[in-house]
Structure 1
Amino acid sequence: MASVHYFFLEYWPHLAFILSLAVGGTAAIHAAMTKNDVRAAIGWVGIIMMSPLLGPFIYLVAGINRIRHDHISEQRNKNLKDYSGAQDAPLADVTDVAGPQFQSLRVLGDRISRFPLRDGNHIQTLVGGDQAYPAMITAIQNAKKSIALQTYIFDNDIEGRKIVDALVQAKERGVEIRVLIDAIGSKYSRPQIIRLLRKKGIPCALFMTNPLGFLRMPYANLRSHRKILVVDGHIGFTGGMNIRAGFVSAVAGSDMSSDTHFRVEGPVVLQLVSVFAHDWEFTTKEALGFETWCSTDWEAAEPQVPARCIRSGPDRYMAATHNMLLGACAVAQRHIRIQSPYFLPDQILLGAINTAARRGIVVDIVIPGRNNLRLVNYAMTAQLDEVIRNGCRVWRVNDNFNHSKLITIDGSWSYVGSSNLDPRSLRLNFELDMEVYSRDTAREIEALIDSEIAKADAVTLQGLAQIPFRKRLRNRVIWLASPYL
């Protein structure tokens, strides 16, 4: 025993060196072989080699995608496997409702989404919490058999507790309820709403609380940013809104933040149910049955439009939204409107936007003048010159923070939902968006975006150049870390 002790005392530097080579080399090889983005691969290999022991641990925690190879696929939920392929739900023809140039975009969506584009959907735009929350509560109060609710942030405030009260009343009527909240988003308020839900006997769960299997910690880079409410499998809500009192004028007053949500009826609701069901089963291992959670009655109010869900995330749907936006920029012929609270597209998407502008397409990009995330605002500012120099128009809104994520192309196609145009949303988060082929819906969204432009200042190259050098340097340094903001 003494000789073993002496051996370790004498040769521990050599053993540590060998261990660091083995661990660091293994981690570096894994990063090089599994990262599809060359910049990500170089970055991780650099971190690992610069710190051969600490680097691999950081890579283990934040760099390995454990979700992509999990069984989160349609085949996992046998009861819901046929929901989106129901033959009596009409397939959509986009030529008449949007224009012939969108046929290729529809094909792209077919291949990216694996959800069919269905006609017969009614979509109602809801602006802010003043419109969205009462509509959601009314739907919950009228529920007969099931309520599925998924959100990123569900604050334990006056508006959050109103929704909890409506859920409790529905439970007392015998309605089946499931509530799924992201583990990171649940921490935005104290005490967490999950405690109140459990106290009231509402079946609920937190998404991604224990991704490593041995550390009880939420995985900051794999968040569910999706917002879904489906009642009786027939009425759905989706968009960009979390559940927070700050979006209600009676509570927030002059400091109220803005956002946009959508109430939907029709076959697209089945797609919302499917996304929720897979996330719920992934989290809890409980499969949700078709009869309770879905509806075969797709009768919707007029007007009816073609729509489908686009799910994206670090699984089999990696970069789905990224690819849809590349396609949308390619088919644009007149006007692209983009409203995003966090505008930090990667170089590929920037290239598509800039190319559209150089083709003569009018590109309007609307961002908040007052951002709720200071670091993101700094990083955004560092990148704005790249789009302005190529002919895009960038507008900073002189008003309260607007959390809306809205895109329209040529007044015919709209893309709405939970995705921001930043690396976290486009690569790391689980997101849910909806593409809509409708001139009427596009006009509504264009009006919302144009109303923001009316109270905005144009960002110019001259204005950016006048920012003091120390602030421009700060912005560029923070921009380097933008994939992790």
Structure 2
Amino acid sequence: MQEWVAGAASLVEWLIAWLQVFWPAIVATAGVVAAVWVTLHVAQHKRDARAAAAWTGLVWLVPLVGALLYLLLGVNRIQRRARQLTGGGAIDAALSAGRDQGTPLQSDRLRVLARLVGRLTGLPLTGGNRVTLLEAGPALAAMIQAVDQARDSVLLATYIFGNDAAGKPLAEALERAVARGVTVRVLVDGVGALYSLPPITLRLRRRGVRVERFLHSIAPWRMPYLNLRNHRKLMVVDRCIGFTGGMNIRAGYLREPAHMQDLHARVEGPAVVHLLRSFVADWAFTCGETLDDNYLGALEAGDTLARGINAGPDADFDKRRLTLLAAIGAAEHEVRIVTPYFVPDQTLLASLQLALLKGVRVNIVVPQKNNLRLVQWASLHALRWLVREGAELHFSAPPFDHTKLMTVDGHWVLLGSGNWDARSLRLNFEFDMECYDDPLAEQANDLIDRRLRGARRVGEAEFRAMGRWRHARNALAHLFEPYL
């Protein structure tokens, strides 16, 4: 035994001595091999030439560390998971049902846009809808009331469900619904659930509410970094009434004074089926349970033409970005954008510049003080060029405005969970709704006007007055645009 131990010790000493002599060559060889592998992988799998060039430069300039970062952040696991997320042939068929049907527009305006988005999404433009815009506080109250009136089912998906003054009343309503025999299913994003500790999911489970966490695992090697988040905000009650928009369930909206503003919408009519089937697909992917996705609501609830737009990596890849490009291209008079995070890619920036050259008025409203400082700096770099081209930029005063809203020519409205950044355009799962309706667009523009009354106009002179170090800071932050 002693001889075996002595032999093992000698072998270890020899290995250490050998490594001390040859470790530079080993590390250099490993670095070159890793860099070559990453370069080949990037060349074959990256569609964005800028991202490909950035990753290639990183792995050669920072050997091994760059390869490790690429393995953790750059390898596209998204496509495999997104294919699973479609939920199988039955749900895919349901989501594309009626692609050649739909209500034709009564106006020639934006007819091409409606046809394009229909082909892009494979979903019909449904008529007979009523869409009611709600600020965050009234929206939460309306959702709680709808849950208390539920008789069949409540399906809720959200990114953040706070265990706070906003989340607890809704949780209590869900618990009361379960006690009445209502089928309740709650889907919270795996990362978003961690915004409150202890998470609301523990309370819901203890009270008998079925709740799941989207793409969550306590094993670090199974938890998908910070991408592939389910950023959708959906609630469908009794398979006939829907709620969607940008509002998370957080107490910041309810405090006095409020810390945040936001926008949600109550939806009645056939478009609710798009919300319903989006939830059913996400739920089936998360836990394997197939829910009833048959719509039970009215066919004629209002006069709004509406369509849901699912966006996400792979299965619904680029649908949101292409919709935005098409809407900007279709504009003849005015584009109005309200968003908390404005870091568009080069194609979206170019489309807005073309709209300005065409004589379209472009109005952009972003928060004066963002809750994500790096995003704000990158946003200022992009906005600088748009303001120079003639865009009207406004900084909305506190509280922080989380609203996501867009209107075109006083007729078309886009609302939902998506932001104007790479995360929403390429990495997260989002749900937006496009609506064709003059009265609804007027209501949306009135809401934007209210934001503008408390906002500050920012012109080119203010950008010129910024110190050089601020411009440099903003430009450096904008280098991270593909990952913000």
Please report the TM-score for the alignment, with normalisation by the length of structure 1: 0.91
Match of 1:76 in 2: 88
1:162: how far off? 0.6
SS in 2 for 1:82: helix
| Percent identity over paired residues | 38
Check the 8 A contact 2:131/2:266 in 1, yes or no: yes
Cα RMSD, aligned residues only: 2.3
1:314-463 to 2 correspondence within 5 Å?
314-463=313-462
Pair 68,83 (structure 1): closer, same or farther in 2 beyond 3 Å = closer
Check the 8 A contact 2:87/2:285 in 1, yes or no: no
SS in 2 for 1:276: helix
SS in 2 for 1:329: helix
* Alignment match of 2:128 (pick from 112, 120, 126): 120
| 2:69 is the counterpart of 1:58 | yes
1:221-236 to 2 correspondence within 5 Å?
221-236=227-242
Which 5+ residue runs of structure 2 have no aligned equivalent? 1-7
SS in 2 for 1:161: helix
* Alignment match of 2:253 (pick from 238, 247, 250): 247
1:483: how far off? 3.1
Q: State the alpha-carbon separation in 2 of the partners of residues 32 and 333 from structure 1.
A: 39
Match of 1:48 in 2: 59
SS in 1 for 2:400: coil
**CA offsets per residue over residues 364-407 of structure 1, 9 Å max, x none?**
11111232222222221222221111111111123421111111
Q: State the alpha-carbon separation in 2 of the partners of residues 313 and 58 from structure 1.
A: 23
Q: State the alpha-carbon separation in 2 of the partners of residues 474 and 297 from structure 1.
A: 52
1:41: how far off? 0.7
| 2:169 is the counterpart of 1:132 | no
1:198-347 to 2 correspondence within 5 Å?
198-210=205-217, 215-248=221-254, 252-284=255-287, 286-290=288-292, 293-301=293-301, 303-347=302-346
**CA offsets per residue over residues 94-123 of structure 1, 9 Å max, x none?**
2x2xx3141211121122212221112111
1:481: how far off? 2.0
Check the 8 A contact 1:319/1:427 in 2, yes or no: yes
SS in 2 for 1:116: coil
Q: State the alpha-carbon separation in 2 of the partners of residues 325 and 278 from structure 1.
A: 24
**CA offsets per residue over residues 262-293 of structure 1, 9 Å max, x none?**
01112211111211122222222x13232xx4
Quick one: which amino acid aligns to residue 94 of structure 2? Answer: D
Q: State the alpha-carbon separation in 2 of the partners of residues 52 and 12 from structure 1.
A: 15
Aligned length in residues: 472
Q: State the alpha-carbon separation in 1 of the partners of residues 167 and 300 from structure 2.
A: 28
User: Larger radius of gyration, structure 1 or 2?
Assistant: 2
SS in 2 for 1:124: strand
SS in 1 for 2:187: strand
1:15: how far off? 4.0
1:315: how far off? 1.9
Match of 2:157 in 1: 150
Q: State the alpha-carbon separation in 1 of the partners of residues 98 and 469 from structure 2.
A: 59
**CA offsets per residue over residues 439-465 of structure 1, 9 Å max, x none?**
111111011111211222211111111
Pair 80,18 (structure 1): closer, same or farther in 2 beyond 3 Å = closer
Check the 8 A contact 2:230/2:429 in 1, yes or no: yes
1:232: how far off? 1.6
The farther-off stretch of 68-77 and 113-122 is: 68-77
The farther-off stretch of 199-208 and 28-37 is: 199-208
| 2:31 is the counterpart of 1:29 | no
1:53: how far off? 2.1
Q: State the alpha-carbon separation in 2 of the partners of residues 139 and 215 from structure 1.
A: 40
1:30: how far off? 1.1
Match of 1:141 in 2: 148
Check the 8 A contact 1:90/1:119 in 2, yes or no: no
Quick one: which amino acid aligns to residue 54 of structure 2? Answer: G
1:156: how far off? 0.6
Check the 8 A contact 1:140/1:166 in 2, yes or no: yes
SS in 2 for 1:253: coil
Pair 163,405 (structure 1): closer, same or farther in 2 beyond 3 Å = same
Match of 1:102 in 2: 110
Quick one: which amino acid aligns to residue 287 of structure 1? Answer: E
1:8: how far off? 5.5
Match of 2:185 in 1: 178
Check the 8 A contact 1:184/1:218 in 2, yes or no: no
Pair 37,220 (structure 1): closer, same or farther in 2 beyond 3 Å = same
Check the 8 A contact 1:155/1:244 in 2, yes or no: yes
Pair 83,200 (structure 1): closer, same or farther in 2 beyond 3 Å = same
Check the 8 A contact 2:91/2:281 in 1, yes or no: no
* Alignment match of 2:203 (pick from 196, 201, 215): 196
Match of 2:3 in 1: none
1:173: how far off? 1.5
Quick one: which amino acid aligns to residue 149 of structure 1? Answer: L
Pair 42,165 (structure 1): closer, same or farther in 2 beyond 3 Å = same
1:436: how far off? 0.4
* Alignment match of 1:39 (pick from 40, 45, 50): 50
Check the 8 A contact 2:416/2:432 in 1, yes or no: yes
Which 5+ residue runs of structure 1 have no aligned equivalent? none
